[in-house]
């Protein structure tokens, strides 16, 4: 299989992530570049001492999707309709693949802040308490709540699959 050096990159993760590395080249002699950020299956992984994903691109895509909706519907549709569209079309853009990443509390707060800023625009307020009450009234869940549920669901499914595999192996 031929390696395309324009689409292939190297990234270093671990205690020596900032150390200089020797160049790697393909069989044809083309160099593969070392980068600080790589996109894999839509998730951006960054060079760090520990496995770490960046949320900047996800937030940028989320804001872009929300602005497209708000540009058309902000003064026409009710808040309930706008929130339903954002929950079904924009939240998946923000949360795509993040259950596989180990997110810190700071990362979760950053995701919540991103959504809260949009809600402040929809409800025409800068008071976070009003936003929280409106969020509760309309049943709109924060990204941290959705991600926690998705992670727990993922772990439970993997755990039950492992249990059934172990049982079948033990019975033979």
**pLDDT tens series, the chain, 172 aa:** 688 888 888 889 999 888 888 888 888 888 888 899 999 888 999 999 988 999 999 999 999 999 999 999 988 999 999 999 999 999 999 999 888 788 889 999 999 999 999 999 999 999 999 999 999 999 999 999 999 888 888 778 776 665 665 566 565 5
Asked, for residue 87, whether it belongs to a domain, the answer is yes
CA distance 32 to 27: 11
HSE, side-chain direction, 13 A CA sphere, residue 7: 4
In a domain, 106, yes or no: yes
Write out the two tokens for 142: 């924060």
- The answer to the question of residue 156 being in a domain is no
Could you tell me if residue 123 is inside a domain? Answer: yes
pTM of the model: 0.80
The answer to the question of residue 122 being in a domain is yes
Instruction: Indicate whether 62 and 128 sit together in one domain.
Output: yes
Q: Based on the fold, state whether residues 69 and 131 are members of the same structural domain.
A: yes
Strand order in the sheet with 37-40: 37-40, 43-46, 52-54
For residue 154, being part of any structural domain is answered with no
**Cα(48)–Cα(13) distance, integer angstroms:** 5
Same domain, 87 and 30: no
CA distance 110 to 105: 8
**In contact, 91 and 143? CB cutoff 8 Å:** yes
* Residue 40, helix vs strand vs coil: strand
Number of domains in the chain: 2
- Domain containing 20 equals 9-52
Q: Please, what's the largest Cα pairwise distance for the chain?
A: 65
Q: Is residue 38 part of a domain?
A: yes
Strand partners, 45: 38, 53
Do 22 and 60 lie in one domain? The reply is no
Whether 48 and 64 map to the same domain: the answer is no
The predicted pLDDT at position 163 comes to: 61
What pLDDT, on the 0 to 100 scale, is given for residue 100?
A: 79
Residues 63 and 131 both lie in one domain: yes
What six digits make up the tokens of 50?
């520990």
pLDDT of the residue at 164: 64
> In this predicted structure, what is the pLDDT of residue 159?
67
Judge if 89 and 133 occupy the same domain: yes
């Amino acid at each position: 299989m031929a390696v395309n050096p324009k689409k292939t990159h190297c990234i270093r993760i671990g205690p020596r992530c900032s150390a200089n590395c020797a160049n790697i080249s393909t069989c044809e002699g083309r160099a593969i570049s070392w980068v600080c950020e790589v996109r894999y299956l839509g998730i951006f992984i960054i060079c760090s001492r520990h496995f770490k994903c960046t949320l900047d691109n996800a937030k940028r895509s989320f804001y872009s999707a929300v602005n497209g909706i708000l540009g058309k519907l902000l003064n026409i549709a009710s808040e309930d309709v706008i929130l339903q569209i954002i929950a079904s079309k924009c939240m998946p853009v923000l949360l795509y693949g993040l259950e596989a990443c180990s997110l810190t509390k700071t990362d979760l707060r950053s995701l919540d802040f991103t959504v809260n800023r949009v809600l402040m625009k929809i409800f025409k307020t800068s008071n976070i308490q009003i936003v929280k009450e409106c969020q509760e009234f309309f049943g709109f869940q924060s990204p941290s709540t959705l991600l926690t549920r998705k992670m727990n669901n993922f772990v439970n499914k993997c755990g039950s699959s492992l249990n059934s595999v172990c049982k079948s192996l033990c019975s033979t």
